[in-house]
Amino acid sequence: MLRLVSQYFTISIYRENQMNILLVDDEPFALKLLSRQFNLLGYDKMTLCESGHQALSLLENGLQEFDLICCDLQMPEMDGVEFVRHLGRIGYSGGLILISGEDGRVLQTARMLAKAQHLKVLGVLQKPVASEVLGQLLQTQASRIVTPVQAKQKTYPADELLWAISNGHLVNYYQPKVDVATGAVTGIEALVRWQHPDDGLLLPAQFIRTAEEHELIDDLTKTVLASALHEAKLWHDKGLPLQVAINIPIEHLNSLDLPDYVARMVEKSGLPRSTVILEVPENGLINNSLPSLDILARLRLKRIFLSIDDFGSCHASLTQLRNIPFDEIKINQTFVHGASRDTSLSAIYMASLELARQLGMKTVAEGVEDREDWEFVRASGCDLAQGYFIAKPMLAAEIAGWIADWEDRQRDLFSERSMVGQT
């Protein structure tokens, strides 16, 4: 029954959005089968192309705009990898699903190449594609699909963003993190949004670049920090001692006054310093600059916890773990979601987990999107989990109600687990 409700939910969403989909595969039967699968899931606006050249011609000539492209990798003349390279060249902004009957590692390599082209890869699927797997992928990745109309509205002028920062139009959403062993809610991650008066709720991708290019990132980050500390104090006063995680942009790793500023803000809030954990993007550590090391060391001396965000996304990981006093590793969602079904992902995930254990660091599995991910992470012994299976980002006012619902839900999850273990 739950599966039927889930499928209906997916169909109803996309019938409202009427996504325009491009399917690319040189095998007519495979193309027809994939088209049929999309039809059964409620999609009817599809264009079918039997070659990369044909599909690229449509895109380059601007004859049609597509919200989603599904592309086979193994095609004659122009293979899927070459097609992906051209998608990056022309600046395709919609979602991309890669499909192939090749070895799973080939799919992962193609995924990495697509991401390097700044393409939005929603997932990689093995041939033959299972309808249930396709449906689950589309449902979990729904929020990441940007239509061409939305894509044209992704950036905003600096003066408008500055006005929004100054007038309180930035709002924090919060995504919970839970203890994998007990199910207890231990903390939340603050994720900034812009409540635009005309265009509605905007995601960071639509304004972060503007903030970076016009030196507004400092003001933006301070606004996020102040709001997060204010909300965390309210939760603490209500008996919810949640640790709040805040993302620190790369630019702040050169701001030598950051440790003192954060410490002052935390003291002013009345919270223990251990309440705050700063998530540093791994790619911000590549240069290993002296200011970065200075800032991170002083933050830790001030008892502010540090976390490596998106661990495994760069080659800087191993060399930096020894040099910087991080408390936590957040394993990149790329290596978490679907790891139970992919031996390569599983191997990378387990290696990251073991490395963190050896160094005495806590681990957070990002991207726990479905029940299989949850069970996999639990079985692995990871410390904390975060993802849509647990909760989507929500407003501060919704946290207390969600915790009550989660407590009811986790009893079912853990009791089912217990019964399975006893049989």
The two tokens of residue 355 are 């490395």
Question: Over the chain (423 residues), what is each successive 10-residue block's mean pLDDT?
Answer: 33 49 90 86 85 85 80 88 88 88 78 85 86 82 58 72 93 95 94 89 84 89 94 93 90 84 94 91 64 86 89 59 82 85 85 88 92 93 93 92 89 58 38
Helix, strand, or coil here: 398? helix
Q: Does any domain span residue 351? A: yes
Condensed to tens digits (0 to 9), the pLDDT of residues 201-218 reads 888 878 888 888 888 988
Separation between Cα atoms, residue 96 and residue 21, nearest integer Å: 10
Residue 249 belongs to domain with CATH number: 3.20.20.450
Mark whether 347 and 213 lie in a shared domain: yes
Mark whether 67 and 103 lie in a shared domain: yes
Mark whether 216 and 125 lie in a shared domain: no
Please, what sign has the CA dihedral across residues 298, 301, 302, 306? positive
CB 366 within 8 A of CB 189: no
Question: Domain range for residue 326?
Answer: 158-422
Q: Does any domain span residue 286? A: yes
- Closest residue by Cα to residue 265 from 257, 308, 176: 257
CB 57: neighbour CB atoms within 10 A? 12
Mark whether 274 and 355 lie in a shared domain: yes
What does the pLDDT read at residue 418?
Answer: 43
Mark whether 238 and 376 lie in a shared domain: yes
Mark whether 267 and 373 lie in a shared domain: yes
CB 60 within 8 A of CB 152: no
Last residue of a domain, one of 151, 176, 196: 151
CB 391 within 8 A of CB 357: no
Separation between Cα atoms, residue 374 and residue 388, nearest integer Å: 10
Separation between Cα atoms, residue 184 and residue 79, nearest integer Å: 47
CB 274 within 8 A of CB 311: no
The tally of domains found in the chain comes to 2
Last residue of a domain, one of 151, 177, 197: 151
Helix, strand, or coil here: 177? strand
What is the pTM assigned to this prediction? 0.68
* Alpha helices, H only, 336-387: 343-358, 371-380
Mark whether 278 and 407 lie in a shared domain: yes
CB 192 within 8 A of CB 224: yes
Question: How are strands ordered across the β-sheet holding 46-49?
Answer: 46-49, 21-24, 68-72, 95-100, 120-126
What does the pLDDT read at residue 244?
Answer: 95
Mark whether 270 and 327 lie in a shared domain: yes
Element (H, E) at 172: strand 170-179
Mark whether 65 and 194 lie in a shared domain: no
- Closest residue by Cα to residue 38 from 134, 178, 128, 142: 134
What does the pLDDT read at residue 11?
Answer: 33
Residue 17 belongs to domain with CATH number: 3.40.50.2300
Q: Does any domain span residue 1? A: no
